Structure 1
Amino acid sequence: MNALDTVSRRSLLTGGIATGFLLAFHLPLRAAVNEPVQPKDTTDGKFAPNAFIRIDPEGVTTLVMPQVEMGQGIYTAVSMILAEELDADWSKVQLLHAPANEKLYGNPIFIIQATGGSTSVRAFWKPLRDAGASARAMLVQAAAAQWGVDPASCTTSKGVVTHKASGRTLAYGALAAAASGQTPPNNVPLKDPKDFVYIGQPFKRLDTPDKVNGKAVYGIDAIVPNMKFATLAQCPVFGGKVGKVDDRAAKKIPGVRQIVVLDDLVAVVGDHMWAAKKGLDALVIEWNEGPNAKINSKAIWDDLRAASAKDGVVAKSTGDVAKGLATGEKFEASFELPFLAHATMEPLNATVHCKPDSCEIWTGTQIMARVQSEAAKAAGLPVEKVTVNQHLLGGGFGRKLEPDMVVTAVRIAKQVEGPVKVVWTREEDIQHDVYRPVYRDTIAATLSGGKIVGWKYKITGAAIIARWLPPAFQKGIDIDAVDSAVNVPYEIPNVHVEYVRAEPPAIPTGFWRGVGPNNNVFAVECFIDELARKAGKDPVEFRRGMLANSPRFLSVLNLAAEKSNWGQPLPARVGRGVCLQPSFGSFIATVVEAEVDEQGEINLRRATSVVDTGIAVNPDTIVAQVEGGLVFGLTAALYGEITIEKGRVQQSNFNDYRMLRINQMPKIEVHVVRSGEAPGGIGETGTTAGPPALRNAIYAATGVALRRLPIDRKLLAAGKKA
């Protein structure tokens, strides 16, 4: 008998933390981080003025989180923004993850309910502040009506309304019922930043303690009564199908309960993961590999390079680029970036219980409403019959902006009686990812008087937006693919930017942390360094000369140069490289210091980033996100590459898809600039900054101008240009 069979539903729900059962993330600030069941978003007896705020008669304030927590600290940042304008008592705040509801919780930038693109704070900054201020005004109106005074004579602080003249006070809980009868006011004045109490303070992440002590529960940890486990094998060739399956040996494995054979995959269902995994290993599967079995990396790159020779759709054109390219000395270059996998520490997973008339899902996703709708299609049910329970994500990085893992789990669960947790092995995860596209960028530029006078830039690569958000794909332009190419920070009089859509055959492509800018920032900043050398100028000084009308960019560049000791002597084969980027609505300058030995091996010595992201909601999180992004980006620059042979991915685990190791970590310094501007995005800026800054450090140390990632150590050892 399954041990969970003896546990009543009530005892499981009330004691779920101990068993690791979680349907959602519910976070009282001074209590256990996770409760087992998604609390119902009821408004009975509560003051619920909008989609984001609930206040009960005891004064407990529940803040509904419109974005998902996947390590970026957004639950803390959202709670700070709402609590700030609400003037809530921080000690009485708890969090509730929003349900699937695009009308109420759609990301204002994407329109759909999605967490990604470093948009959470910048997209919700105004809506959340408006929600908090409106609710606060209603509470004040209720108190003023009870006292018979002018609302303007009342103040709020820490969940209490005070009438200064009489010294009378009422807590928000006591006002909840009366406030519910107030009409929500329009255009309530927002706080002046100088009056912020929470925003701008380095608050510790609310989810950190329970991640340290092991109480935090991710999607992969979900346990429901009578649950079975499954793992799967998909055809190793993209688009291939199942041929024959010999499951006789698998069925003899203790704990194996069922073999599920679908057209493109085989899953083994067992009493526990080990049984399912051993059963999968015992299967003998013949695959019909199909027409993609001859695809390889060489052919993909040949096609991409041929496509890059074609004219593209014009994304931007200012001045007269033909005249600009005919003025001064002309230089040309091409830059190439490979496929990349996401390799999240939490492998793909979803727990699903399919019944004839309903489907319930436990997972961690960046696109809750889309998962609900796609799961409904797979289950053959109306959307309202599908419930998605949101979990913490053990890394997203864009991979969980796709619903495919949940759709697959639903397809398997339809064949299984009772709930089943479907878990991908690391190998299946890496070899059946939705990959960062291969890109090729070609640039032609002219120098005259030590400045760039003509700039022609062409991006060639897949159009993720065309698939993921078709309404945003207009006139052949993928707005993500050209991001940070059409808005370079430098003053160049004649600029022309083109985009060529080139889809790799059969290889699924999607967003990867840093999205379009991780391609364009690399190409632009690497070529800027080459042009600086051609002009006989220091790379920082060269950039300064093109930033006269960009004070925020100039400020972060100057501070990064100062903090990194730019221009100070270095040992032989050690260099500093700089990167300046306009990505995600923030202003970031980064300097990497690196050493290259005679064999081409690289020692990361130091990384310095200066960040102007507008109003820093939580400076502590900003520092952590830049640090993590730098590690992610530097890892990709040093090791990241997915290669294809015979229609299949050759990499399979961290042995051949390497991560940066702790002994390779450089010293990282992040400096956050104080600003009164609206917040920008921060979660991906370090990822986009690391590779070009490192490449430029290598260029300074060796004179080798690498133009392709990952870094080729053999070329560095030979002293040749890539």
Structure 2
Amino acid sequence: MNAPFKPAPTRRDVVVASTLVGGALLVGCSPADLMSAGSKVEVGAFGPFIKIAPDGVVTVVSKHIEFGQGNHAGLSAIVAEELDADWSKVKVEQAPANAKLYANGALGAQLTGGSSAISNSWDQLRKAGAGARAMFVQAAANKWNVAVGEITVKDSVLTHTSGKTATFGDLVAAAAKVNPPTDIKLKDPKTFTLIGTDRVRRKDAQAKSDGTARYTQDVRLPDMLTAVVAHPPLFGAKLKSFDAADAKKVAGVVDVFEIPTGVAVVAQSTYAARMGREALKVEWDDGKAEKRGSAKIAEDFRAVLTGKDSSAKWEPFDQRGDLSKLDAAKGEQVFETTYEFPYLAHATMEPMNCVASVDGSDVKMVFGSQGQTLDQLNAAKIVGCLPGSVQIETLFAGGSFGRRANFQSDYAAECVHIAKKVGKGRPVKLVWTREDDMRAGYFRPLTLHAVKVVLDKNGYPAAWRHRIVTQSIMKGSPMPAGKGPDGTAIEGTQGSPYLKATPVVDAQVALPDAGVPVLWWRSVGATHTAFVMEHTIDQLAAKAGKDPIEYRRALYTKAGADRHLAVLNLAVEKAGPAPAAGWSRGVAVHESFGSVVAQVAEVKLVDGAPRVGRVVTAIDCGVAVSPDQIAAQMEGGTCYGLSAALYGEVTLTDGKVDQSNFDRYRVLRINEAPTVETNIAPSGNPPSGVGEPGTPVIGPAVANALLALNKTATTRLPLVRSNV
């Protein structure tokens, strides 16, 4: 997901936080104060991010969830570098939910998203580590009666020029009594000994390998119940009536009752809950439900795109130059095309789940929370308590790709509703099956683009018209709207170096409504804008009779896109000579989440379908905190993006989602995964995102390889339409 917003409390949020408990009015509070009201989180001597035990073990408290992306390695390395801690004695634990202490600096709430875990923590954790180091140095200076400048620190050991030494464990009690420094001096990055090295490896690898890592499904609490929910088959349908008689006859079923999103079946086990749900007799009111199929929604969007439907408002996001040139141009100097992208499921390996207990206004939640502040706020609204008093223990999660963070906290809110009904502090584990997750969850929006480009006498863009039609992810959100249209719909087109290099631009977006719930999906707007921009460029180069790499170089030079040019050159250099006969190469370059990625994909056709063998990647992501994890994210992001480009498609028939599991929602198989080579461009800039920028580039790189191979452009994804 990306980060186009900073949350502010709505009027209702202010009322909830200020009056529901005790009637205390919180005057002059910031949003973080408001969201954290009621929290009992305590901060130790070394601040909210560092704990140091008597044995010298350093624990870094991570405000960001770990759901496979490996950010705990980089976050702990930032602290360890400035602290000069022994890397082998550094551990990581998940922070409690508290927006005042642990808010994401880029998002304004405690939330992991927008590929921002490392970037928003960079200065914060460096200062935390350097501050704690200074406290230890001062403690040693006091003990030895020497100047602080005579003391060095390495691998958790302090050494004086006289030869005296002491470990963190030796000095932790004394250091805890030192006042934290107000003027913190950070290291010169040239002196880093940990950051940027292959020593920075995952801290969770052992636990995830031996099964001791704790996920929501692993949670077992005394007297815990399990719940499943019967959701309406159509989006927007409401419960009309239900008969629970047969469900209650199922052995192990404890209760059946209505919640705002459907009917909850609570039982002694997951099996009993599922069998009870199957025995339910439910009648739904679909009077206001979305009944269109995906083909009809696409058709309606196409009517907006072509002007046949004028009900949707067009919003410009880049307009300049003499726009009449776009209408006047005809013939060979004009290029026109359209693109269509389907709904996509997040398809996380671990479906949605949550454990909650409610005892009066006492709320406890245990699960893989991606947006703790959102989850606290929504739980508080349900129960009627201060948001900060909602305790959340964040566990590992088996993937998210944006799915676990949404404004409604959908599945987590369901669990709190159920736990509130059960009451008396009895814990309830809500389990979504794969089928629930695939059919009742959120999706990447269906999106259409139309592009018209007028070429100059040298074959480069002189005028560019761009139209995007998609659902808005941000519409109706509690976040304050900024100027202009929904940024999640246009990012990647807006600000593109290709548009910057074009004298005349007319770029607009329309955001018609549809009843299908949509959400950010790994790399968000770039999932479609990168494809459109990069595949269009190759087609323009072909029309101009130019090499697509040289064509890009010329446009990057004109736009002043030095980073794009650098990663393109690096990827092409590392790709080396042309591949073997039968293989084709495609190139794509895109910037997202502050990082620029270039890929060279080698593709051949196997039984008429594309097979990707090798992908050479170059990335400029600022300071590379953990090169090993950057490579892992480029590999994972590439495979995720390739899976979607080849096979990803959610379809609806008469409003019902057709796919329910991986039998019909085809994903990339292990034997289809390409070899991904990652090359990191040297940079002294602060770190930028790596979790998502690898995903959007592979699709257009493959399409460009196919264009070079058979001269056929790709105007609709997925490339392979198959249900097996």
Q: TM-score, structure 1 length as denominator? A: 0.87
Instruction: Choose the corresponding residue for 1:500, options 494, 509, 514.
Output: 509
**Aligned positions of 1:523-534 closer than 5 A:** 523-534=532-543
Q: Which moved more, 1:138-147 or 1:347-356?
A: 138-147
The structure-2 alpha-carbon separation of the partners of 1:42 and 1:297, relative to structure 1 and needing over 3 Å to count, comes to closer
Please tell me whether residue 280 in structure 1 is matched to residue 286 in structure 2: no
Instruction: Choose the corresponding residue for 2:392, options 388, 393, 397.
Output: 388
- What is the aligned partner in structure 1 of residue 547 from structure 2? 538
Q: 2: CA distance between counterparts of 1:304 and 1:335?
A: 12
How far is the alpha carbon of 1:684 from its aligned partner?
Answer: 0.9
- What is the aligned partner in structure 2 of residue 435 from structure 1? 443
1:307 and 1:500 in contact (8 A); partners too: no
- What is the aligned partner in structure 2 of residue 77 from structure 1? 74
Instruction: Choose the corresponding residue for 2:643, options 635, 644, 655.
Output: 635
Q: 2: CA distance between counterparts of 1:458 and 1:232?
A: 40
Q: State the SS of the aligned residue for 1:239.
A: coil
- What is the aligned partner in structure 2 of residue 144 from structure 1? 141
Query: Partner letter of residue 79 of structure 2?
Result: L
2:259 and 2:414 in contact (8 A); partners too: no
Q: 2: CA distance between counterparts of 1:264 and 1:130?
A: 45
Q: 1: CA distance between counterparts of 2:705 and 2:334?
A: 24
In structure 2, the gaps of 5 or more residues are 1-39
Q: State the SS of the aligned residue for 1:401.
A: coil
Partner deviation per Cα, 1:587-645 (whole Å, 9 max, x = no partner) = 21112222235x64222222221122221111111111111111111111111111222
**Aligned positions of 1:698-713 closer than 5 A:** 698-711=706-719
Please tell me whether residue 551 in structure 1 is matched to residue 567 in structure 2: no
Query: Partner letter of residue 364 of structure 2?
Result: E
**Aligned positions of 1:5-84 closer than 5 A:** 47-48=45-46, 50-84=47-81
Please tell me whether residue 519 in structure 1 is matched to residue 528 in structure 2: yes
Q: State the SS of the aligned residue for 1:582.
A: strand
Partner deviation per Cα, 1:45-75 (whole Å, 9 max, x = no partner) = x632x22122244423221101110100011
Q: Which moved more, 1:560-569 or 1:52-61?
A: 560-569
The structure-2 alpha-carbon separation of the partners of 1:578 and 1:616, relative to structure 1 and needing over 3 Å to count, comes to same
**Aligned positions of 1:605-620 closer than 5 A:** 605-620=613-628
Q: 1: CA distance between counterparts of 2:497 and 2:82?
A: 34
Q: Which moved more, 1:391-400 or 1:296-305?
A: 296-305
How far is the alpha carbon of 1:338 from its aligned partner?
Answer: 1.3
Please tell me whether residue 680 in structure 1 is matched to residue 688 in structure 2: yes
Q: State the SS of the aligned residue for 2:64.
A: coil
Partner deviation per Cα, 1:154-191 (whole Å, 9 max, x = no partner) = 22112222222x22223233333443444433453321
In structure 1, the gaps of 5 or more residues are 1-39, 715-722
- What is the aligned partner in structure 1 of residue 595 from structure 2? 586
Q: State the SS of the aligned residue for 1:459.
A: strand
- What is the aligned partner in structure 2 of residue 576 from structure 1? 585
The structure-2 alpha-carbon separation of the partners of 1:223 and 1:503, relative to structure 1 and needing over 3 Å to count, comes to farther
The structure-2 alpha-carbon separation of the partners of 1:559 and 1:510, relative to structure 1 and needing over 3 Å to count, comes to same
Instruction: Choose the corresponding residue for 2:317, options 294, 301, 315.
Output: 315
1:587 and 1:612 in contact (8 A); partners too: yes
The structure-2 alpha-carbon separation of the partners of 1:318 and 1:215, relative to structure 1 and needing over 3 Å to count, comes to same
Q: 1: CA distance between counterparts of 2:126 and 2:327?
A: 48
Please tell me whether residue 455 in structure 1 is matched to residue 464 in structure 2: yes
Q: Which moved more, 1:336-345 or 1:374-383?
A: 374-383
Partner deviation per Cα, 1:485-531 (whole Å, 9 max, x = no partner) = 12223451425353424143221111101111112111100100110
Aligned length, in residue pairs: 667
Query: Partner letter of residue 570 of structure 1?
Result: A
The structure-2 alpha-carbon separation of the partners of 1:359 and 1:132, relative to structure 1 and needing over 3 Å to count, comes to same
Please tell me whether residue 697 in structure 1 is matched to residue 705 in structure 2: yes
How far is the alpha carbon of 1:237 from its aligned partner?
Answer: 0.8
Q: Which moved more, 1:560-569 or 1:92-101?
A: 560-569
1:113 and 1:368 in contact (8 A); partners too: yes
- What is the aligned partner in structure 1 of residue 286 from structure 2? 289
The structure-2 alpha-carbon separation of the partners of 1:559 and 1:709, relative to structure 1 and needing over 3 Å to count, comes to same
- What is the aligned partner in structure 1 of residue 371 from structure 2? 367
The structure-2 alpha-carbon separation of the partners of 1:483 and 1:633, relative to structure 1 and needing over 3 Å to count, comes to same
Higher relative contact order (CA 8 A, sep 6+): 2
How far is the alpha carbon of 1:331 from its aligned partner?
Answer: 1.4
Cα RMSD of the aligned pairs, angstroms, is 2.3
Please tell me whether residue 237 in structure 1 is matched to residue 234 in structure 2: yes
Q: State the SS of the aligned residue for 1:605.
A: strand
How far is the alpha carbon of 1:459 from its aligned partner?
Answer: 2.6
- What is the aligned partner in structure 2 of residue 413 from structure 1? 419
How far is the alpha carbon of 1:432 from its aligned partner?
Answer: 1.0
Q: 2: CA distance between counterparts of 1:581 and 1:264?
A: 39
**Aligned positions of 1:334-373 closer than 5 A:** 334-373=338-377
Query: Partner letter of residue 564 of structure 1?
Result: A
Q: 1: CA distance between counterparts of 2:419 and 2:295?
A: 39
Query: Partner letter of residue 645 of structure 2?
Result: A
How far is the alpha carbon of 1:450 from its aligned partner?
Answer: 3.1
Q: 1: CA distance between counterparts of 2:49 and 2:487?
A: 30
Q: State the SS of the aligned residue for 1:669.
A: strand
Partner deviation per Cα, 1:201-256 (whole Å, 9 max, x = no partner) = 22331111221221111122211111111112101111212233333333332222
Q: TM-score, structure 2 length as denominator? A: 0.87
Please tell me whether residue 602 in structure 1 is matched to residue 610 in structure 2: yes
2:609 and 2:720 in contact (8 A); partners too: no
Q: 2: CA distance between counterparts of 1:182 and 1:514?
A: 44
Query: Partner letter of residue 621 of structure 1?
Result: Q
1:321 and 1:494 in contact (8 A); partners too: no
Query: Partner letter of residue 681 of structure 1?
Result: G
Partner deviation per Cα, 1:102-158 (whole Å, 9 max, x = no partner) = 122111111111111111111111111122112222322332233333322222112
1:300 and 1:504 in contact (8 A); partners too: no
Q: 1: CA distance between counterparts of 2:113 and 2:397?
A: 13
Partner deviation per Cα, 1:552-606 (whole Å, 9 max, x = no partner) = 32222123223334645632xx422111011111121112222235x64222222
How far is the alpha carbon of 1:375 from its aligned partner?
Answer: 0.9
Q: 1: CA distance between counterparts of 2:448 and 2:509?
A: 10
Instruction: Choose the corresponding residue for 2:193, options 197, 210, 229.
Output: 197
1:590 and 1:693 in contact (8 A); partners too: yes
How far is the alpha carbon of 1:41 from its aligned partner?
Answer: 6.3
The structure-2 alpha-carbon separation of the partners of 1:57 and 1:583, relative to structure 1 and needing over 3 Å to count, comes to same
- What is the aligned partner in structure 2 of residue 97 from structure 1? 94
Q: 1: CA distance between counterparts of 2:628 and 2:129?
A: 23
Instruction: Choose the corresponding residue for 2:254, options 247, 253, 257.
Output: 257
Q: Which moved more, 1:357-366 or 1:476-485?
A: 476-485
The structure-2 alpha-carbon separation of the partners of 1:324 and 1:261, relative to structure 1 and needing over 3 Å to count, comes to closer
4+ residue stretches of structure 1 with deviation over 6 A? Answer: 324-328
1:579 and 1:692 in contact (8 A); partners too: yes
How far is the alpha carbon of 1:677 from its aligned partner?
Answer: 2.4
Q: 2: CA distance between counterparts of 1:511 and 1:535?
A: 36
- What is the aligned partner in structure 2 of residue 660 from structure 1? 668
How far is the alpha carbon of 1:379 from its aligned partner?
Answer: 2.1
Query: Partner letter of residue 397 of structure 1?
Result: F
Query: Partner letter of residue 413 of structure 1?
Result: A
Q: 2: CA distance between counterparts of 1:679 and 1:69?
A: 18
How far is the alpha carbon of 1:314 from its aligned partner?
Answer: 2.8
Q: Which moved more, 1:512-521 or 1:292-301?
A: 292-301
